[in-house]
Amino acid sequence: MLIATAIFVVLYTVLIFRQIRGGRWRLSERHATIAKYFHYVLLAIIIPIAILHFRYGICLRGVWPERIIVIAALLTGIALLPMSGFKVLRIPERIYFTVMAFLPTLTGALLLVPFLGVLIVISVAGQLLPPTIVYYDDNFYRIQTSFKGALSAPEVNVYAKHGLYEKILNSNVPYMYHDSIAVYPYPDSIRITRFERNRGDSIKARTSYTVRNY
């Protein structure tokens, strides 16, 4: 693993240096400018989304919209300098897009740090992964796991859907191992009941949790 990561870091760094200094594949000045401002538009969208998400628990509806925006911003930021050179970039932009271009190098170098580096990379990159388990999903609610870190158990979140956005409801629902699940929505709350059958037992144990919808 360490050898493969080290080889990737060296090869990627060399190829990016060569591409920046005068590679074959270049965007025209017009297309490079469009790509640059498209990246800025994505950043302008991400900032309020992040504030709403982490401060108020409000996010775009669905599992993928926010992740697609973040991934698109990362890809355009990483690719712009190698594909355009410095011709459309001012001095502050050159610094920013140079850091972005070598972000995979920095990430790979961090992975070479035993334990702590791997822990940091997994904890950050894991935020972009879709939920491992979706317990329940309809037009009004979604119950799913959320990644909280490499050393933390997944958190169960309840989302209330409202048009184009959804709100994360405060919950104390633990990570659930279950055979089946039932959801009972009410005007101001949602009740989650999980059923779990013990080994060799035909009777299912039942546990209920109530989450307030406000």
Residue 171: what pLDDT? 64
Q: Are residues 98 and 114 in the same domain?
A: yes
**149 shares a domain with 205:** yes
Interhelix angle for 103-111 vs 2-22, to 10°?
Answer: 160
Cβ atoms of residues 134 and 142 within 8 Å: yes
Phi, psi dihedral angles at 187 (to 5 degrees): -55, -35
Residue partners of 5: CB distance under 8 A and separation at least 6: 108, 111, 112
- 50 and 142 in a single domain? The answer is no
The reply to whether 24 and 51 lie within a common domain is yes
Question: Does 202 have pLDDT greater than 70?
Answer: no
Same domain? For 116 and 135 the reply is: no
Write the pLDDT tens digit of every residue in 129-148.
888 788 888 888 888 888 88
Q: Which of 127, 154, 182 is a domain's end point? A: 127
Is pLDDT above 60 for 165? yes
| Model pLDDT for residues 49-89, shown as the tens digit of each residue | 999 999 999 999 999 999 999 999 999 999 999 999 898 99
| Number of independent structural domains in the chain | 2
- Kindly state whether residues 57 and 106 are assigned to the same domain: yes
The tokens 């949602």 sit on which residue?
190
Average pLDDT for 153-160: 84
pLDDT of residue 164: 93
In the predicted model, what is the mean pLDDT of the chain?
87
Reply yes or no on whether the pLDDT at 6 is more than 70.
yes
The structure's pTM equals 0.85
- Residues 96 and 90: beta-carbon distance below 8 Å: no
Same domain assignment for residues 122 and 20: yes
Instruction: Give residue 208's pLDDT band: very low, low, confident or very high (50, 70, 90).
Output: confident
Mean per-residue pLDDT for 120-129? Answer: 88
Assess whether 92 and 141 both reside in one domain.
no
User: What is the distance between the alpha carbons of residues 92 and 187, in angstroms, rounded to a whole number?
Assistant: 52
Domain that holds residue 191: 131-212
Q: What is the pLDDT of residue 211?
A: 83
- State the DSSP code for 127: G
Whether the CB-CB separation of 171 and 184 falls below 8 Å is answered with no
